Amino acid sequence: MSQQYDAIIIGSGVIGTAIAFELAKQGKQTLNVDALPAAGYGSTSGSCAIIRPYYSTFHSCAIAHESHFYWRDWDTYLGVEDELGNVKYHNTGILVAKTDNNDNMAPTLAILEQVGAPFVHLSTDEMQAKYPIINTDSFHPARRPEDDEFGQSNGKQINGGLFFSDGGYVSDPQLSAHNLQRAAEAHGAAFRYNAKVHDVRQADGRVCGITLEGGEQIDAPIVVNVAGPHSCKVNAMAGVLDDMQISTQAMRHEVSHVPAPEGFNVETHGMVTSDADIHAYTRPETGNHILIGSEDPECDERVFVDADDYNENFTDQWRVQALRAAQRMPGITIPNRPKGVVALYDVTEDWAPIYDKSSLPGYYMAIGTSGNQFKNAPIAGEMMAKLIDACENGQDHDANPVQFTLKYTGHSFSIGEFSRNRAINENSTGTVLG
As for how many domains the chain has, the answer is 2
9 and 65, same domain (yes or no):
yes
77 and 102, same domain (yes or no):
no
266 and 393, same domain (yes or no):
no
79 and 140, same domain (yes or no):
no
Of the three residues 294, 319, 345, the one that is the final residue of a domain is 345
Residue at 89 is within a domain: no
CATH number at residue 21: 3.50.50.60
100 and 119, same domain (yes or no):
yes
Residue at 369 is within a domain: yes
257 and 229, same domain (yes or no):
no
Residue at 7 is within a domain: yes
Would you state the pLDDT for residue 32?
Answer: 98
SS3 assignment for the chain: CCEECCEEEECCCHHHHHHHHHHHHCCCCEEEECCCCCCCCCCCCCCCCEECCCCCCHHHHHHHHHHHHHHHCHHHHHCCCCCCCCCCEECCCEEEECCHHHHHHHHHHHHHHHHCCCCEEECHHHHHHHCCCCCCECCCCCCCCCCCCCCCCCCCECCCEEEECCCEEECCHHHHHHHHHHHHHCCCCEEECCCCEEEEEEECCEEEEEEECCCCEEECCCEEECCHHHHHHHHHHHCCHHHCCCCCEEEEEEEEEEECCCCCCHHHHCCEEEECCCCEEEEEECCCEEEEEECCCCCCCCCEEECCECCCCCCCHHHHHHHHHHHHCCCCCCCCCCCEEEEEEEECCCCCCEEEECCCCCEEEEECCCCCCHHHHHHHHHHHHHHHHHHHCCCCCCCCCCEEECCCCCCEEEHHHHCCCCCCCCCCCCCCCC
Residue 12 CA, distance from chain mean position: 14
Residue at 429 is within a domain: no
237 and 277, same domain (yes or no):
no
Residue at 327 is within a domain: yes
Would you state the pLDDT for residue 117?
Answer: 97
CATH number at residue 340: 3.30.9.10
212 and 265, same domain (yes or no):
no
Residue ranges making up the domain that contains 288: 94-165+250-345
260 and 401, same domain (yes or no):
no
pTM over 0.75: yes
115 and 263, same domain (yes or no):
yes
290 and 372, same domain (yes or no):
no
140 and 16, same domain (yes or no):
no
Of the three residues 317, 345, 373, the one that is the final residue of a domain is 345
Of the three residues 345, 362, 377, the one that is the final residue of a domain is 345
* 10-residue averages of pLDDT along the chain (434 residues): 89 98 98 98 95 95 98 98 98 97 95 97 98 97 95 97 98 97 98 98 98 98 98 98 97 97 96 97 97 95 97 97 97 94 95 97 97 94 98 98 98 98 73 52
